[in-house]
Amino acid sequence: MSLPIVAIIGRPNVGKSTFVNRLAGSRQAIVHDQPGITRDRTYQEAFWLDRDFIVIDTGGIVFDDDTEFLPMIREQAMLALAEANAAILVVDGQAGPTPADEELANWLRQQKLPVFLAVNKCESPDEGIMFASQFWELNLGEPYPISAIHGNGTGDLLDAVIAVLPTAEELPERNEINVAIVGRPNVGKSTLLNAMTGQNRSIVSPISGTTRDTIDMHIEREGKEYRLIDTAGIRRKKNVEYGAEFFSINRAFKAIKRADVVLLVIDAVDGVTEQDQKLADRIIEEGRSAIIVVNKWDAVDKDSYTIYDYEKHLRDRLYFFDWAQMLFISAQTGQRVTKVFDAIDQAAAAHRRRVTTAVINEVLEEAIRWHSPPTTRQGKQGKIYYGTQVSTAPPVIALFVNDPKRFNESYKRYIDRQFREQLDFTGTPVRFAWRGKKVREIERNPNRATKV
Ligand code: GDP
Ligand code: GDP
């Protein structure tokens, strides 16, 4: 089931993250507890009254001079808006309207979606009304005075927001799979792109009328839809400005962030390089599903390697990536390119998969029966009460335990492996949140914690 999306927009330091944390509440804490998750994580689940939705936070980027970086804020905002059903522009009530607010407001007014204006840092109701009144000039309708820190005013604002959001039933089922193709220059990304798209391609930009810089390509194959992300970036290397070997890791990182499935293309002749490892690390950090596409297999001397030996050799250099399928293809001859699509479908399904609490606990019980949790030197034994999947894309499984410190890394890895072996999570990273404290809170309201 899909959920409506609300984008939070605003210049730095107006309180976007504070506001989003308030909306997302304790659920987001579960995800943030995990190591390796960046603070600017974009998608969070939230709810107000009986309505669930997703908030996209465009915060996380903080600069000293906001006007200078407006294009960057706008770019972030643009990507967020492409998927959103409503937007909230957050401004700083104590600072009053700034040119940057004005510019964002002008731009937001041209977008085809409802926009709400949240005037933050209005702790006192009287002052709040005064602060808020300065923002009528942004022409975004009624300014709502709020305090993200204390929560006042957010109720009225959210009442208005949920009134315009489509219900889950009204939203189209999201079938399109976002695919990013990344890898070093000359590994064969463009050739693969051509092999995948063939004749039936159409070009789509994230939002019509926006920068021509990122160009996505939409393709349909056997009734399924795929969006190939930032295909302009894939072809960019020929650009004289950079020279042939320019490798925009930043651009690759952005594409990874927007993807459901990342194709990490590796040159079969060169093997795994340090740059490939960097990309792999980022894919894991962002929680994207992935396929390792070993290209130019036609050019490898098959007498010196079997696929089996070669795969082992490559995997030794891609630690923590054992969940990703590895395909040996030739983009140039088209050999096994259809397998890439099969692997994408599988990885995307695993990424979005939701496993019931009953099944999670069956796996857990079985795992504990084979191998009970360790006992610390002080004689205290770890105890796992139960588990539940708290989030998808990537799957996050929360395990409620007496004390997370009683579980060593080797036991954690064992549990991870059990879940992978028992449930089909091929192609997606799975995260585990070992929770010691908030057990009671979740227990009181188990549906809240598992609903999406
Ligand atoms: P972002 O850059 O827009 O995400 O802003 P942050 O959420 O990081 O907040 C920027 C600063 O504003 C921080 O120092 C917050 O503590 C402060 N802040 C956020 N919300 C409020 C609020 O409601 N009232 C006041 N007085 N300060 C706030
Ligand atoms: P990109 O920089 O990653 O987009 O790489 P290109 O698609 O431009 O390919 C770089 C070079 O590798 C070109 O000369 C391609 O013809 C060649 N190439 C691409 N795929 C294959 C393949 O499957 N086998 C062989 N032998 N060469 C390939």
Q: Does domain 5-170 have CATH number 3.40.50.300?
A: yes
What is the value of pTM for the model shown? 0.62
Burial of residue 445 (number of CB atoms within 10 Å: 0-12, 13-18, 19+)? exposed
Q: Is the CB of 299 under 6 A from ligand 2?
A: yes
Measure 446 CA to ligand 1 centroid, in angstroms. Answer: 31
Cβ proximity of 206 and 79 under 8 Å? yes
Measure 298 CA to ligand 2 centroid, in angstroms. Answer: 11
**For 48-95, what is each residue's pLDDT tens digit?**
888 888 888 765 443 444 455 556 666 666 667 777 899 999 999 999
- Please check whether the two domains, 176-350 and 357-451, share a CATH topology: no
pLDDT at 44: 76
Cβ proximity of 105 and 129 under 8 Å? no
Q: Is the CB of 233 under 6 A from ligand 2?
A: no
Measure 434 CA to ligand 1 centroid, in angstroms. Answer: 29
Measure 149 CA to ligand 1 centroid, in angstroms. Answer: 7
Measure 187 CA to ligand 2 centroid, in angstroms. Answer: 6
- Say which ligand is closest to the CA of 332: 2
pLDDT at 201: 53
Please name the CATH architecture into which domain 357-451 falls.
2-Layer Sandwich (3.30)
Place of tokens 């937001």: 108
* Domain 176-350: homologous superfamily in CATH: P-loop containing nucleotide triphosphate hydrolases (3.40.50.300)
The radius of gyration of the chain from alpha carbons, rounded to an integer in Å, stands at: 24
Residue 86 Ramachandran class (φ > 0 left, ψ -120 to 50 alpha, else beta):
beta
Measure 82 CA to ligand 1 centroid, in angstroms. Answer: 26
What is the identity of the amino acid at 75? Answer: E
Q: Is the CB of 298 under 6 A from ligand 2?
A: yes
For residue 103 the two structure tokens come to 């510019």
**For 391-417, what is each residue's pLDDT tens digit?**
888 998 989 899 888 999 999 999 998
pLDDT at 444: 42
- Of all protein residues, the one whose alpha carbon is nearest to atom 2 of ligand 1 is 13
pLDDT at 213: 57
pLDDT at 17: 83
Q: Which atom of ligand 1 is nearest to the CA of 14?
A: 3
pLDDT at 247: 64
Q: What are phi and psi of 368, to 5 degrees?
A: -70, -35
For residue 390 the two structure tokens come to 């708290």
For residue 83 the two structure tokens come to 């998927």
- Of all protein residues, the one whose alpha carbon is nearest to atom 24 of ligand 2 is 296
Please tell me the distance from the alpha carbon of residue 383 to that of residue 403, in angstroms, as a whole number: 8
- Parse the chain into domains and list their residue ranges: 5-170, 176-350, 357-451
Please tell me the distance from the alpha carbon of residue 248 to that of residue 81, in angstroms, as a whole number: 24
Please tell me the distance from the alpha carbon of residue 41 to that of residue 79, in angstroms, as a whole number: 14
Report, as ranges of residue numbers, the positions in the chain whose pLDDT lies below 70.
1-2, 26-43, 58-79, 168, 172-174, 199-214, 235-247, 437-452
- Say which ligand is closest to the CA of 185: 2
Q: Which atom of ligand 1 is nearest to the CA of 150?
A: 23
Q: Is the CB of 188 under 6 A from ligand 2?
A: yes
Q: What are phi and psi of 54, to 5 degrees?
A: -115, 135
pLDDT at 82: 73
